[in-house]
Structure 1
Amino acid sequence: MFMGGLMGTASLLSGRAFANEMMKEISQLKPGEFTWHPERAPSGPVSVVVSLPEQRVHVYRNGIRIAVSTCSTGKPGHATPTGVFVVLQKDKNHHSSIYDDAPMPNMNRLTWSGVALHAGNLPGYPASHGCVRLPMKFSELLFGATHVGTPVIIAGAHTDPWELTHPGMVLSGYAEQEFEQVVAGLDGKKPPSDWASASNTPVTSVIVSSADKTIELIENDRVVARSKLTLKGGDKLGSHVFVLNGANSDARGMHWSAITHSTDASPLTRDDVVMQRIGAEPSFVDQMQSRMHPGMTMVLTDAPLSPDSRSGKDFVIVTTG
């Protein structure tokens, strides 16, 4: 089932047996080995989760895991930061400007200060200067699946993606005509395959901070709108990343894949109502709805939206490092 030699009968399994087989295979991966099964979800938005304790990279499309790889993250003194990132830049033949022009093939940049996903040596333990090293072939496949704006979550613990259909419009009360307007706006929109095409179809992201009681709307790398956050049912949100899959006509709402994460290894559970707890000013909601597209990312965090938790002209929410 994974490239590197292990063959099995998972294709004949289903339900819980399939899930157990997948977990068994993941735990048995040796340095440099990986799985890659894009046929499980041939199209749709991609999200990436880097598990520091497992030294694994999980790739999901439309909330379905299509790949898992071994990796090597930052060694002591050069720890890989945890938090929510997006792919800021892609370079198939990148070389480091910090470490003696070291090659970084198939580089997906996560911070302007140098953290990235790229091919490199995998000794079986954290050994990098902060980047996430990947097997060469896996890095090639991942490079072909990501786009500028693809969310990458680096965490100590995380849930598998869970599905959520918000009943009505996000950040506002339900209105029948709003659903039709947003669905019409989604038609024909796809995330850009690279930065150059973003002028035609910009990457849209929304960040909700309970610490600042603020919501920001980001288009590519620019904040285009900001609103005061209204929050029901407590003053904390937890750490969640929602990726918009599209409209659900039966439920008359937007269909999302969500991942909950944390910096430590504590057990996590899904929160089915967290998105219904947040609200924003009408003008902000109007601007957000006009920019929604499949692959749009919404980040919920209890961290402040301050320079200390952000990296340059992007919306990275760094929780450690």
Structure 2
Amino acid sequence: MTAFAFTRRGLLGGLAAASAFAMTRAACADDMLKDVSKLKPGDFTWNPEREPSGPVSVVVSIPEQRVHVYRNGVRIAVATCSTGKPGHETPTGVFVVLQKDKNHHSSIYDDAPMPNMNRLTWSGVALHAGNLPGYPASHGCVRLPTKFSELLFTVTHVGTPVIIAGAHTDPWELTHPGMVLSGYAENEFEHVLASLDGKKHPSDWSEAEQKPVTSVIVSSADKVIELIENDRVVARSKLTLKDGDKLGSHVFVLNGANTDARGMHWSAITHQQATTPLMRDDVVMQRISAEPAFVNEMKARMHPGMTMVLTDAPLTPDTKTGKDFVIVTAG
């Protein structure tokens, strides 16, 4: 089976913290959740009815030892977790689910069971059910409550973005007029809307075979934008960057079209170095543009759930020993 992946082992940054804004529906989600800081090891919340459909993203907060699940930018679940212990720290950064296996066993640690496994790297980092002592205790994986891991397994797919961070707040929503990466035109929204017709967020790999998962990587270091379909680069463009030479680190998940606002509806998660002033996601999105041919390729392939990652790290990997999609920031 071919997995959605792309080697990014050379993308090393210095992120020490992750930040984000909470707006609109995401801001009121806390009112319907119990105080997640008081969850005991093994506890979790699961409220999928809050947002029944749409793209899913997962944020793992290492300091909190919590996993937050969002659908369409709305938090639908929180669980306690156990990340890597000293000497086996869980790497932070941007990942995607590379493989799913409900009855996986470790090939590294004595055939140890890893139920409901969502693989994040081919070197062994994954989300899976496991023991939760209340502190980091794994060999690098993110251990989850068993029942929560079963539920999470039902809403993730190959290509689901997973952000592992040093801190956490909710994502926030933004609507960008027309097409991202191009100058706004009056009829742009209709063109983008037409490109989304009939496309749904893939729920598992079998569906993704017919509807490939698309991702866009924007590097300020290389001044390059790459369009990735499943495990291969299908288009590349020179990046035009306004007002400075840095972007910070941002993750955008396309939720779909907002017909009222006549724009594309995104969930945004911002990561910034502790020493770097926070730059709003909507401001950053207005700063980037690509060549027209690239925009057309992206327009043809974009779908709800498409992920766009902005980074100040170079795209050239040090090694290509496997097909990973990893932007490692620590570990």
Normalised TM-score (structure 1): 0.90
Letter of the 1:19 partner, please give it: D
Does 1:295 pair with 2:305? yes
Question: How far apart in 2 are the matches of 1:177 and 1:314?
Answer: 37
Question: How far apart in 1 are the matches of 2:28 and 2:304?
Answer: 31
**Corresponding residue number in structure 2 for 1:106:** 116
State the 1:190 CA deviation: 1.4
Higher alpha-carbon deviation: 243-252 or 163-172: 243-252
The counterpart of 2:293, out of the listed 283, 307, 319, is 283
The counterpart of 2:46, out of the listed 18, 36, 45, is 36
Q: Say if 2:102 and 2:115, in contact at 8 Å, map to a contact too.
A: yes
The counterpart of 2:30, out of the listed 19, 30, 38, is 19
State the 1:181 CA deviation: 2.3
**Corresponding residue number in structure 2 for 1:4:** none
Does 1:132 pair with 2:142? yes
State the 1:167 CA deviation: 1.6
State the 1:268 CA deviation: 5.7
State the 1:19 CA deviation: 3.1
Change (3 A) 1:144 1:309: farther
**Structure 1: any 5+ residue segments left out of the alignment?**
1-13
Question: How far apart in 2 are the matches of 1:72 and 1:17?
Answer: 27
Does 1:73 pair with 2:83? yes
Does 1:57 pair with 2:87? no
Letter of the 2:83 partner, please give it: T
Q: Say if 1:94 and 1:105, in contact at 8 Å, map to a contact too.
A: yes
Change (3 A) 1:193 1:310: farther
How many residues matched?
307
The counterpart of 1:118, out of the listed 128, 134, 141, is 128
1:153-302 map, 5 Å: 153-262=163-272, 270-302=280-312
**Structure 2: any 5+ residue segments left out of the alignment?**
1-24
SS of 1:246 mapped into structure 2: strand
Letter of the 2:300 partner, please give it: S
Does 1:91 pair with 2:115? no
**Corresponding residue number in structure 1 for 2:328:** 318
Q: Say if 2:116 and 2:150, in contact at 8 Å, map to a contact too.
A: yes
Does 1:304 pair with 2:317? no
State the 1:144 CA deviation: 0.2
Greater relative contact order, per chain length (Cα 8 Å cut-off, separation 6+): 2
Change (3 A) 1:42 1:20: closer
Letter of the 2:289 partner, please give it: G
State the 1:265 CA deviation: 11
State the 1:55 CA deviation: 0.5
Letter of the 2:84 partner, please give it: G
After superposition, what is the alpha-carbon deviation per residue over 1:46-84, rounded to whole angstroms, capped at 9, x for unaligned?
Answer: 000000110000000111100000000011111111110
Change (3 A) 1:272 1:182: closer
**Corresponding residue number in structure 2 for 1:9:** none
State the 1:179 CA deviation: 2.2
Letter of the 1:316 partner, please give it: V
Change (3 A) 1:15 1:295: closer
Letter of the 2:258 partner, please give it: N
Question: How far apart in 2 are the matches of 1:83 and 1:105?
Answer: 23
State the 1:158 CA deviation: 3.6
Change (3 A) 1:229 1:311: farther
